[in-house]
Amino acid sequence: MIINTQLENKGNLFPGKVLSFYQDVDKIYFKTENGVILQITIIRGSVIRFRYATDNNFENDFSYAISNEGARGYSKLEVGDYENHYKIKTKKIVIEISKSDLRTSIFDISGKVICNDDWGFHWEQSYEYGGNIVKMSKSAPQGECYYGLGDKATHLNLKGKRFENWATDQYAFGKDQDPLYKSVPFYIGMYEERAYGIFFDNTFKTFFDFCNERRNVTSFWAHGGEMNYYFFYGPDMQDVITRYTDLTGKPELPPLWALGYHQCKWSYYPESKVREITQKFRELQIPCDAIYLDIDYMDGFRCFTWNKDYFPDPKKMVSELEEDGFKTVVIIDPGIKVDDDYWVYKEALDKDYFCKRADGPYMRGKVWPGECYFPDFTNPEVRKWWSGLFKEIIDDIGVKGVWNDMNEPAVMEVPSKTFPNDVRHNYDGNFCSHRKAHNIYGTQMARATYEGVKKYAYPKRPFIITRSAYSGAQRYTSSWTGDNVASWEHLWIANIQAQRMSMSGMSFTGSDIGGFAEHPTGELYTRWIQLGVFHPFCRTHSSGDHGNQEPWTFGEEVIEVTKKYVELRYQLLPYLYTMFWEYAEYGIPMLKPLVLFDQYDLQTHYRTDEFIFGNQILVCPVQESNSKGRRMYIPRGNWYNYWTKEYITGGMERWVDADIDIIPMFIKEGALIPKYPVQQYVGEKEIKVLKLEAYFKLGAKEVSKVYEDAQDGYDYMKGRYSLRTFTVTGKEKEVIIQQHKDGTFITEYDTIEFEFIGLPFTIKEVEVDNVIVDLRSVQSSENDTILGIPKDFKEIHVIG
């Protein structure tokens, strides 16, 4: 072994000289004199996998994170053999591998450095567990910024910090507390406006250090497994994220109701309480689509059972709630109560589906029902069995969604809060200890749940929500950020976490609105709901320990403001659904932190509060008590204040008025923002018109899209969707809107109603598909900037 003398006392080992290389289609192998092999796989021109073996041995190549469609091979590459290095060239990048120590450097095609190894791959042997502690270090040029990493509750830019990924039940976590519930070992680096990404696909406990230990070095390492990472080149940050999401998978479209407002508490019971809550929503006309049953609906917290004292006839209740537009979502935890009279327990025991300790006893731990055993969700047979358990809940009772909690997995009353390391797992035939399976356990539970709900909900779409997740979980489930606190600081955290999750491939995320632990003031709740309606997942939840958290518990003013914002969310459903479609189809993050929206503007690199909802709406929450407004950065370009319609130019910080009923919100000029009428729940009303708010822009074209389909079911996959692409051109005395339509779905409405905002002229003439129309027949009687146009036009000219 070659040991770097400087680090000898740390026990680090390094690759020696490269002896040979060979190419096998899209894979290139470099072997060193001391038994290290670097395998480089060219997945796409800008997506490269680096994988290192020691002792000349690779592990069995298996990953839960990589989607089947994601790992396509790429064969167009050149490998050059030079005096001191090898050179691999794709269409997008050049990789150099040093012959003396296997260190790699990645350049863009013009020769600019994107990412250089510092020490590169090194490792320590682990005598206790076998295998290695695998490490990687990269040089970090001054000015490089870092983003991503899942749910970390810290500044959006990760520079200067160190993180650990070990899924943890972190009740009432604090700012900067780490680790939290999720493990998403993917980050984005950006230097001189060029972005790249690194996904360290290793489910052991992993660490990331962004210039914390050494000022000019970024490193990541794991307590076992292989040094196995994917490199993505942008240079656009959005391309880095879409490439990562391509590899780890995209979700299907959720049913549209899942994008409505959800109400939850620990716990609504008995049945009369559930009905009282749902009725109150309808009475106050605050839109709501989903009501949640937390653990008390079960019989003694036994999953897949009902407490018949509280819920004597769940099927009747669920179907009556549904008639009123409420979908019921129930919680299911992984811990199965040790109880000889409980069929789920007995079945799993019979079939040998529970996790066991190294020497054979069952993994026993306390959760809500008391002593529990835990299914090994990393066993495909267990997942299949688990899926089958949903038949009654979904198929018979009619529940529409399932909420998976405590799946880090959480164990009570033990210092580690989870399983001991020696617990054994199947890991889809790659038998291992909990050290390797811990971070993936929650995702495999959510996957088994998703498969079950999907099967029994068919032909409708499933809805799943999880607390723990590893990269790739987005294929199966939405998520929430866990047990937060009703504090202003947590409102800040919720904003960061939702943006960060979006950048980490998991857009369908939200926080417990108002805070889970403790009780918000009416003002805090108001500010939180204003933000929450702009998160892809929108649910109020609380522990219920300190009072109620339904919108009406804070008095009249809060009811009014909540109503205004939840109504706005329902109006924006076609906009939100189109965002989701872009995420599901192309992996485009639904929320865009300013740095992702405009990485070429240096001002955005350290911003945290402002974000873009979709592509065209800028939002910035008010995060302090007693505010009449706030300062915020308006990104470059021109914007309309949504509330006042004032036209402003970005690229600078401004004060924005925001009394208690206002969240600062701006629309990008040129945008067409689609809206539906307010509904109390998705599907309540027939949509008779699609409204498009047209924000005038002089000059260059702006493209807006509206995606629609049957709002549930799978017909959309057979082409039964409607995708309208509008191109708007604004001139001094004319606006031209061209429409291109895709898909065979026929929308209910016949008319698109344009409302022009910021139009610099009075409308004198309207031409639809080359025919001048009678102005009075299209103009609204109340407002002459509103025009009703037959929906399938190809081109309209609005002339002044």
769 is catalytic: no
Least distance (Å) between residue 395 CB and ligand GLC: 24
- Toward ligand GLC, which CB reaches closer, 225 or 482? 482
- Toward ligand GLC, which CB reaches closer, 154 or 407? 407
**Residues of span 112-131 touching ligand GLC by CB under 6 A:** none
- Toward ligand GLC, which CB reaches closer, 376 or 405? 405
Quick check: 354 and 376 in contact, CB under 8 A? yes
- Toward ligand GLC, which CB reaches closer, 253 or 411? 411
Least distance (Å) between residue 270 CB and ligand GLC: 17
- Toward ligand GLC, which CB reaches closer, 501 or 673? 501
Task: Give the separation between CA 167 and CA 178, rounded to whole angstroms.
Answer: 10
Quick check: 248 and 65 in contact, CB under 8 A? yes
From its phi and psi, is residue 583 left (phi > 0), alpha (psi between -120 and 50) or beta? alpha
Least distance (Å) between residue 171 CB and ligand GLC: 6
- Toward ligand GLC, which CB reaches closer, 372 or 667? 372
- Toward ligand GLC, which CB reaches closer, 405 or 609? 405
Q: Which residues of 588-603 are buried (b: 16+ CB within 10 A; e: fewer)?
A: bbbbbbbbbbbbebeb
Question: How many residues lie near ligand GLC (CB under 6 A)?
Answer: 9
H and E: helices and strands count for the chain: 12, 51
Least distance (Å) between residue 30 CB and ligand GLC: 46
Task: Give the separation between CA 67 and CA 320, rounded to whole angstroms.
Answer: 39
Which residues are paired to 298 by β-bridges? none
- Toward ligand GLC, which CB reaches closer, 294 or 523? 294
Least distance (Å) between residue 76 CB and ligand GLC: 48
**Tokens encoding 92:** 């997008």
Q: Name residue, tokens 């054994």.
A: 424
- Toward ligand GLC, which CB reaches closer, 107 or 261? 261
Sign of the torsion formed by the C-alpha atoms of 775, 781, 784 and 785 = negative
Q: Is residue 668 a contact residue for ligand GLC (CB under 6 A)? A: no
**Catalytic hit among 117, 226, 405, 709:** 405
Least distance (Å) between residue 409 CB and ligand GLC: 12
- Toward ligand GLC, which CB reaches closer, 145 or 331? 331
Q: Is residue 266 a contact residue for ligand GLC (CB under 6 A)? A: yes
Least Cα distance to 134 among 224, 37, 231 occurs for 224
φ, ψ at 439 (rounded to 5°):
-70, -15
518 is catalytic: no
Here's the x/- map for ligand GLC, 404-433, by CB under 6 A: it reads as: -x----------------------------
CB neighbour class for 101 (10 Å; exposed up to 12, middle 13-18, buried from 19):
buried
CB neighbour class for 45 (10 Å; exposed up to 12, middle 13-18, buried from 19):
middle
Least distance (Å) between residue 480 CB and ligand GLC: 7
Task: Give the separation between CA 558 and CA 552, rounded to whole angstroms.
Answer: 7
- Toward ligand GLC, which CB reaches closer, 271 or 405? 405
Least distance (Å) between residue 777 CB and ligand GLC: 54
**Residues of span 34-53 touching ligand GLC by CB under 6 A:** none
Here's the x/- map for ligand GLC, 445-464, by CB under 6 A: it reads as: --------------------
CA 131 to chain centre: 33
209 is catalytic: no
Compute the chain's Rg from CA coordinates: 27
**Catalytic hit among 271, 408, 709, 712:** 408
For strands 478-480 and 464-466, give the pairing: parallel
**Catalytic hit among 483, 512, 550, 669:** 483
- Toward ligand GLC, which CB reaches closer, 144 or 405? 405
Q: Which residue number places its CB atom closest to ligand GLC?
A: 266
* Among the listed residues 226, 294, 598, 712, the single contact to ligand GLC using CB under 6 A: 294
* Among the listed residues 102, 331, 465, 752, the single contact to ligand GLC using CB under 6 A: 331
Q: Which residues of 676-688 are buried (b: 16+ CB within 10 A; e: fewer)?
A: bebbbbbeeeebe
Here's the x/- map for ligand GLC, 642-661, by CB under 6 A: it reads as: --------------------
Task: Give the separation between CA 777 and CA 355, rounded to whole angstroms.
Answer: 70
**Residues of span 513-542 touching ligand GLC by CB under 6 A:** 541
**Tokens encoding 491:** 């409102």
φ, ψ at 142 (rounded to 5°):
-60, 135
* Among the listed residues 295, 493, 735, 778, the single contact to ligand GLC using CB under 6 A: 295
Task: Give the separation between CA 392 and CA 101, rounded to whole angstroms.
Answer: 59
Q: What is the 3-state secondary structure (H, E, C) of 380-436?
A: HHHHHHHHHCCHHHHHHHCCCEEEECCCCCCCECCCCCCCCCCCEECHHHCCEEHHH
CA angle in degrees (0–180, nearest 5) for 120-121-124 = 130
**Tokens encoding 789:** 């146009």
Quick check: 478 and 467 in contact, CB under 8 A? no
Q: Is residue 325 a contact residue for ligand GLC (CB under 6 A)? A: no
Least distance (Å) between residue 514 CB and ligand GLC: 13
Task: Give the separation between CA 55 and CA 659, rounded to whole angstroms.
Answer: 65
Least Cα distance to 595 among 245, 195, 246 occurs for 195
Least distance (Å) between residue 169 CB and ligand GLC: 7
Q: Is residue 467 a contact residue for ligand GLC (CB under 6 A)? A: yes
Here's the x/- map for ligand GLC, 475-504, by CB under 6 A: it reads as: -------xx---------------------
Task: Give the separation between CA 343 and CA 401, rounded to whole angstroms.
Answer: 23
3-state helix, strand, coil in the chain (%, to 5): 20, 35, 45
Least distance (Å) between residue 522 CB and ligand GLC: 22
Least distance (Å) between residue 512 CB and ligand GLC: 7
Residues designated catalytic = 405, 408, 483
Interface with ligand GLC by CB under 6 A: which residues?
A: 266, 294-295, 331, 405, 467, 482-483, 541
